[in-house]
Amino acid sequence: MSEYALEMLGVTKTFSKVTALDNVDLHVKKGEIHALIGENGAGKSTLMKVLSGVYKPDAGTVKINGEVVTVKNPRDAIDKGVSIIYQELSLVPELNAIKNVMLGQEKNKCSIISTKEENEFAGKYLDYASRGTLPSYKIPVKRLSVAQQQMVDIAKSLSYNSKIIVMDEPTDSLTTGEIDRLFEIVRKLKEDGITVIYISHRLEELFALCDRVTVLRDGKYITDANIADIDKDWLISKMIGRDLKDTFPPRHRMESDETVLEVENLTAERFQDVSFKLKKGEILGFGGLVGAGRTEVLRAIFGADRYKSGTIKVFGQEVRITQPNQAVKYGFGFATEDRKTQGLFLNQDIQDNIAAAALNKVSKGGFVDSSKEKVMVQKYFDELQVVAPDINKICKFLSGGNQQKVVLAKWLASECKILFLDEPTRGIDVGAKYEIYLLMDKLVQSGVSIILISSEMPELMGVADRVMVMHEGSLTGELNVDEFSEENIMKLASGEKLE
Amino acid sequence: MTKEKEKTNIVKRILGNPVSVPYIALILVFVISTIASPNIFPTYSNIMNILRQASIVGVVSIGMTVVLLVGGIDLSVTSIMALTACLLADMMEKGVAAGKTGIMIGPVILVLLLGCFIGLVNGIVIVTRRLEAFIVTMAMNMIVKGIVMVYTKGAPGGKVSEFWENFGSGFVFGIPCAVILYALMLAIFVIILHKTIYGRHIYAIGSNAEAARLTGIKVKMNKIMAYVLCGFTAALGGVMLMARVRVGEPNGSTGYDMDALAAAVIGGTAMSGGVGTLAGTFAGVIIMAMVNNILNLIGADPNLQSLIKGVIILAAVVFQKQEK
């Protein structure tokens, strides 16, 4: 018998030209809680998708209990004792807890489902995972909280008799109390001999929960270590592996006191009493945890969602924006967090995407002047250095970084004056990130104002001129450059006051 | 050397273009049909016959393609056609009785507007209530069909003025009038889809409605407009049908909805929206008309037509999926 429950050796995976994993190793001992960490885009999720058979690696071997295995597909992974609990839980919202657990492994006689047997079988695992905290196993899981749904998902994994359970950012949308309860469950799993691979970007959690850690950076294996032997600073230095100075371009700012956007007491379902001012040529950062209401505030201003009360002034003039097309007319641009579902026309080419918000600039009487359009598109295509053979490439074939550049090019082409960027560098590689920071710097010099939402604190501090922090729908504080520190942002983000 | 390279590039580009698939199929059907019936099929008069038969489905399929492009569907086209045909024939009967022989532009415009209006209702209900286009237009189909049946008591009626009789069977420069009208409509809608802001927005909405909304495109307005256009082309199809059969026939339009849909799908239009061209739909229309024609020519069992059509549609979607 091997000492390791799971070994992944020399795993390499490339997508067209992008190397997502480069000769990555992972050694997970039996019955330990093993943390897998790295920045966004470091390759954690890709590695786990190789493990679960979603992706086939270009090279490398996977050993489970010392035996070399080939995982053909997710079902095969489950049969081999590996199951993954994704951030977006894989439950059917309309079905109840029991039926979700039994999905795909229904207890039946001649295709007639035996309810009693199912209740017993699923109930056992649900009891184990939830410890009686679920109100009922018989109500649709969509009526449970996220934490409770997660318990159902854990029960489902256990019911497959899994020996290795991977949890991908399980605490992202949980409250503190719920996180504690989750930790109890994870520790219980460990006691019962189950190996847990725990993916998170919250370093405190690793020190509270895990035994060992593997660090990935830019698709490469960096190191592994016992948690007891290391501290947070060491871990951060391994994760980042470079100075912040090199990560962010130097700032160039125009000095202006003109207020372009003034929001007063904006209130909607998910946030209350949000007030702030945005100056011309400034980058205003929005910090806070996922779900703090930052995106919702920007969506309300942009007219994508309704708000209940409050006033919005654009260039000193009070406006009531109810539709995004009005916002675009007032000079707003909004590069959304999820570019695939909200930003891009994936089936269309780069030209159609870049021109989408600026067609009126190249047309007369509703007719598009194609030659003018091409010139405009080409200009932004070149300016942003989108890596593609030409502007007729279909967007779904571009890498994440290039897709993001196309989204930004769309808003540049619209010549917007106030640009909202929601997690603009999520999931894109370091080189492309730097280019996007450079572009932001260039934009503010030309008088555009930017609001930047980012969950990466170094990014906020490296790019923004001011940072406003939100916690559970309220603004908890504002930091100027000289007050920037991860600690300060974190405090405000968790609702504490600064001295 | 470079010229050869250019040549292979052109071949590659033609093969890579999604529109070429239905056209390759079109050529294939043409060649097979020519072999099957070398004496009649490839003659000028037969080709014109095929085009004339294709023109009504063709006009209806234009609007259907637009609706499919925004990610919708319109199942009410058959009853819009029946309504316009019966109503117009009825109005013309009175005109003919009064000695009119001309185009009778007033009533024609009226029924075309009626088609637009039904499309408008479809669009408004679908967009503002966020309902499935399939269900809404199916219900609308039944409602309008019911109105037609009550109005006509299920029997053909009305008369067609001389102008429209000539339109139905006449030629201009050796080309059937209906074909000329189809070509004209095709040209107008190709310009709308590819040369106007509206056309670009149609593709954007079908490709990703939420992204389109957040880009500042008026999604609701544009979607409603797509249904209005579909109502318009269906009504025009109804007028052409009336001219062809020279009477208002309440059941005459049966099957046009599925034929128009099939033509669009064979032509590469995606049911999920955002993908497709009128050039492709045109190929789809012609393929179906050719198949009908050749089966008639070789004296095949008419019941076989449905089977062959079904196989072609199935083959088209299976093949198109593999292309990606």
* Statement: residue B17 has pLDDT above 90: no
pLDDT: which is higher, A428 or A364: A364
This prediction has a pTM of: 0.79
* Statement: residue A244 has pLDDT above 60: no
Residue-wise over A77-90: b if at least 16 C-beta within 10 A, else e?
Answer: bbebbbbbbbeebe
Q: Is B246 on the interface with A (CB under 8 A)?
A: no
pLDDT of residue A111: 78
* Statement: residue B324 has pLDDT above 50: no
Please state, for a pLDDT cut of 70, what percent of chain B lies above it: 96
Q: How far apart (Å, rounded) are the C-alpha atoms in residues A359 and A352? A: 9
Q: Is A346 on the interface with B (CB under 8 A)?
A: yes
Dihedral sign (CA A254, A257, A260, A262)? positive
Inter-chain residue contact A414 with B196, CB threshold 8 Å: no
Give the confidence band of B19 by pLDDT, cuts at 50, 70, 90.
confident
* Statement: residue A143 has pLDDT above 70: yes
DSSP A29-42: ETT-EEEEE-STTS
Inter-chain residue contact A345 with B200, CB threshold 8 Å: no
Average pLDDT over residues B5-11: 69
The Cα-based distances of A272 to A98, A471, A476, A480 in angstroms read 38, 11, 11, 23
Residues of A in contact with B197 (CB under 8 A): 359-360, 363, 366-368
Interface test with A, best of B128, B214, B219, B277 (most A CBs within 10 A): B214
Phi, psi (rounded to 5 degrees) for A190? -60, -45
Tokens 């948690």 label which residue?
Answer: A227
Residue range A173-211, pLDDT digits in tens: 777 788 888 899 999 999 999 999 998 877 778 888 999
DSSP element (H, E) containing A51? helix A44-51
Q: Are the C-beta atoms of A89 and A150 separated by less than 8 Å?
A: yes
Tell which A residues from 186 to 215 touch B, by Cβ distance under 8 Å: none
Q: Å from B37 to nearest chain A CA?
A: 41
Give the confidence band of A430 by pLDDT, cuts at 50, 70, 90.
low
pLDDT of residue B289: 94
Average pLDDT over chain B, rounded to an integer: 91
Give the confidence band of B323 by pLDDT, cuts at 50, 70, 90.
very low
pLDDT of residue B3: 58
Interface test with A, best of B191, B203, B215, B320 (most A CBs within 10 A): B215
DSSP element (H, E) containing B192? helix B177-195
Average pLDDT over residues B233-258: 94
Question: Which among A334, A346, A363 has the least Cβ separation from residue B197?
Answer: A363
Question: Could you tell me how far CA B286 lies from the centroid of its own chain?
Answer: 11
The Cα-based distances of B196 to A357, A372, A472 in angstroms read 14, 13, 45
Question: Which among B197, B207, B215 has the least Cβ separation from residue A368?
Answer: B197
Tell which B residues from 207 to 226 touch A, by Cβ distance under 8 Å: 207-208, 210-218
Token pair, residue A350, equals 């780069």
Q: Is B71 on the interface with A (CB under 8 A)?
A: no
Average pLDDT over chain A, rounded to an integer: 88
Residue-wise over A201-224: b if at least 16 C-beta within 10 A, else e?
Answer: bebebbbebbbbbbbbbbbbbbeb
Token pair, residue A489, equals 């942002």
Q: Å from A186 to nearest chain B CA?
A: 38
Q: How far apart (Å, rounded) are the C-alpha atoms in residues B208 and B199? A: 15
3-state secondary structure B207-260: HCHHHHHHCCCCHHHHHHHHHHHHHHHHHHHHHHHHHHHCCECCCCCCCHHHHH
Strands A418-422 vs A449-453: parallel, antiparallel or unpaired: parallel
pLDDT of residue A443: 93
Residues of A in contact with B202 (CB under 8 A): none
Q: What single-letter DSSP state applies at residue B303?
A: T
Strands A283-287 vs A466-471: parallel, antiparallel or unpaired: parallel
Q: How far apart (Å, rounded) are the C-alpha atoms in residues A327 and A334? A: 9
Q: What torsion, rounded to 10 degrees, do the Cα atoms A404, A405, A409, A412 define?
A: 80
CA-nearest residue to B272 within chain A is A347
DSSP element (H, E) containing A245? helix A244-247
Inter-chain residue contact A356 with B274, CB threshold 8 Å: no
Nearest one of B63, B80, B57, B91 to B250, comparing CA atoms: B80
Look at A246-260, A279-293, A435-449, B130-144 and tell me which has the smallest mean pLDDT: A246-260
* Statement: residue A332 has pLDDT above 60: yes
> Cβ neighbours of residue A339 under 8 Å, at least 6 residues apart?
A400, A403, A404, A407
pLDDT of residue A176: 75
Tally A–B CB contacts below 8 A. Answer: 74
Q: How far apart (Å, rounded) are the C-alpha atoms in residues B308 and B57? A: 18
Q: Are the C-beta atoms of A207 and A227 separated by less than 8 Å?
A: yes
* Statement: residue A463 has pLDDT above 90: yes
Average pLDDT over residues A428-433: 74
Tell which A residues from 436 to 475 touch B, by Cβ distance under 8 Å: none
Secondary structure tally for chain A: helices H, strands E: 17, 24
Q: Is B188 on the interface with A (CB under 8 A)?
A: no
Token pair, residue B251, equals 């059941």
Question: Which among A329, A334, A360 has the least Cβ separation from residue B214?
Answer: A334
Q: Å from A120 to nearest chain B CA?
A: 40
Look at A144-153, A403-412, B116-125 and tell me which has the smallest mean pLDDT: A144-153
Residue range A31-73, pLDDT digits in tens: 999 999 887 667 888 899 999 888 899 999 999 988 999 998 8
State the ipTM, two decimals.
Answer: 0.85
Residues of A in contact with B218 (CB under 8 A): 323, 325
Phi, psi (rounded to 5 degrees) for A236? -60, -45
* Statement: residue B321 has pLDDT above 80: no
Tokens 């930047």 label which residue?
Answer: A452
Judged by phi (left if over 0) then psi (alpha if -120 to 50, else beta), residue B68 lies in alpha
Residues of B in contact with A324 (CB under 8 A): 213-216
Question: Which among B200, B213, B216 has the least Cβ separation from residue A352?
Answer: B200
Inter-chain residue contact B216 with A410, CB threshold 8 Å: no
Question: Which among B196, B197, B211 has the least Cβ separation from residue A342?
Answer: B211
Inter-chain residue contact A352 with B204, CB threshold 8 Å: yes
pLDDT of residue A1: 61
Secondary structure tally for chain B: helices H, strands E: 14, 2
Nearest one of B72, B58, B199 to B140, comparing CA atoms: B72
pLDDT of residue B1: 45
Inter-chain residue contact A343 with B203, CB threshold 8 Å: no
What beta strand segments (E) does A191-305 contain?
Answer: 195-199, 212-217, 220-226, 259-268, 271-279, 283-287
Residues of A in contact with B200 (CB under 8 A): 352, 355-356, 359, 368
Give the confidence band of A499 by pLDDT, cuts at 50, 70, 90.
low
* Statement: residue A236 has pLDDT above 80: no
Token pair, residue B293, equals 């024609």
CA-nearest residue to A355 within chain B is B200
Residue range B84-127, pLDDT digits in tens: 999 999 999 999 888 888 889 999 999 999 999 999 999 999 99
* Statement: residue A172 has pLDDT above 90: no
**In sequence order, which ranges of B76-175 are alpha helices (DSSP H)?**
77-97, 105-128, 133-152, 162-169
pLDDT of residue A17: 67
